[in-house]
Amino acid sequence: MKIILLNDLLRAAGLPASLHNPEISSIAYDSRTTCPGSIFVAIPGLLASGLDYTTQAIEKGAVAIVSESALPDIEIPQIVVTNARMALADLAGAFFENPANSLKCVGITGTNGKTTTAFLVKHILDTNSLHCGLIGTVKYVIGQTEIPAPRTTPEASDLQALLGQMRDGYCRAVAMEVSSHALAQHRTRGIAFDAAVFTNLTQDHLDYHGSMDAYFEAKALLFEGLAEQREKKGRAIVNCDDRYGHRLMERYAKRTKLVTFGQGANADFRASDIRFDAKGGTFQLEARNKNFLVRMPLIGLFNVYNALGALAAATACGLELRHCVAALADAPQVPGRLERVPSRRNFQTFVDYAHTEDALRNVLSTLRQLRPTRLITVFGCGGDRDRAKRPLMAAAAAQGSDLVVLTSDNPRREDPEQILRDTEVGLKGCIYDVIADRAKAICHAIEIAGPGDIVLLAGKGHETTQEINSEKYPFNDVLIATRAIAEKKGEA
């Protein structure tokens, strides 16, 4: 167990010293995980404040409190700070001795493509003996250990603890998804990146950020940190075909080493002659004054962009480009990202995490290139999230599908029927059914699928639960589809 004196920790974190100097054995931001020797950081939240739980933290053994305001009648040391989240990140970095400095760190941000890009980076680095950890939406991976991911980017102290385990577990690199929430809440503060990748920006999370400009500014914080870091000369790897990517390029071109990717003639990593079939895709890569034929078992133009970002990031970590290109030929299936459901039937079923208008349009466009007899889409919209995107997603589904089955996603605390009504407004000019029960909706889509059809189950991807009325119930699109396919009547 690590033990450090409070004032030594505060000094390392750049915070003022305390009159008392107890031993610190852990950092906590949740009173339920506080234990004897913890320093408890009372971070503000949307629904509750850590200040409301300081008594419980002290009862659990906290020996010091960090908060944004002084608390009366507290007998243990109090450290008052301007921003508790920043303090949490600084304390965690100091406590775990800045493990990111010992790893090749790739941070990936953007609305869509983060997960696949992170998986591709990990695969490329692993294949080239640069053992890589993973932090993202699907799971956290440290060596051979996989940990369920409660959130895309963990809180600062949890994140630093994971990075510390990677460093101590002989990882040499990490591929990390960096969400806009994490950036706005300073969870990655103090982490020095070798590469920061921007995939794209489309409407999402406006319930939290309020506007697209605010959403963009949250994403830009990753590159602001990259420009200011002193430990490494990291590269900003930006999709130059995205309009928000152009804004990043204009802002940071003179402050960072900028690497661009896309289809434009001026892209540093440029894809052309892009082709797909049922088994995957190929494209010509022009980069570093060389040309390569890239083969990958992934379909979709968006996956070409994901591959370009991953290749640029891997070379920023010091790998030779030709070795990176070779590794892509056997890239893994990413759970819930255009994941094909195994079947010997005469139709195909795919599961994808697409839960924004842009992502849904992209995946439908990709599947349309496989020339299905009909494209049947099952999708819904999440509760307690950006309501404005509901009719937009419906319009994307209507325009890209031959038949739509509107259903529930994760209603969370909202009325599922109201979510369906909000979404149904966008289903114009198409044939559709409304079936609130997602399992029944999936079974219905598979039951009506005929020869040559493609069924797309969109929105939940890799998730293994469905959240209804704040309760999570076991639910897996792939398993339900597999069962429905096995029970389907008629010949294959």
**Rounded distance, CA 54 to CA 71, Å?**
9
Q: How far apart are CA 26 and CA 157, in angstroms?
A: 9
Give the pTM: 0.91
Closest CA to 365 of 334, 390, 397, 409: 397
Kindly give the pairing relationship between strand 348-352 and strand 339-340: antiparallel
Which residue is listed with tokens 């909706």? 441
Tens of pLDDT, residue by residue, the chain (492 residues): 899 999 999 999 999 999 999 999 999 999 999 999 999 999 987 667 888 899 999 999 999 999 999 988 899 999 999 999 999 999 999 999 999 999 999 999 999 999 999 999 999 999 999 999 999 999 999 999 999 999 999 999 999 999 999 999 999 999 999 999 999 999 999 999 999 999 999 877 767 777 989 999 999 999 999 999 988 999 999 999 999 999 999 999 999 999 999 999 999 999 999 999 878 999 999 998 999 999 999 999 999 999 999 999 999 999 999 999 999 999 999 999 999 999 989 999 999 999 999 999 999 999 999 999 999 999 999 999 889 999 999 999 999 999 999 999 999 999 999 999 999 999 988 999 999 999 999 999 999 999 999 999 999 999 999 999 989 999 999 999 999 999 987 654
- 186 vs 156: CA distance, rounded Å: 7
Identity of the residue numbered 113? G
Query: CA–CA distance from 100 to each of 176, 188, 308 (Å)?
Result: 11, 10, 24
User: Please, what are the domains in the chain?
Assistant: 4-95 (3.40.1390.10), 99-328 (3.40.1190.10), 339-487 (3.90.190.20)
Q: What whole-number distance in Å separates Cα of residue 188 and Cα of residue 177?
A: 11
Q: How far is CA 456 from CA 19, 57, 143, 366, in A?
A: 62, 47, 33, 11
Q: What are phi and psi of 262, to 5 degrees?
A: 160, -160
Chain-centre distance for alpha carbon 363: 17
Which residues partner with 135 through β-bridges?
A: 140, 176
Q: Which tokens sit at 319?
A: 């790998």
Parallel, antiparallel, or unpaired for β 269-277 and 280-287? antiparallel
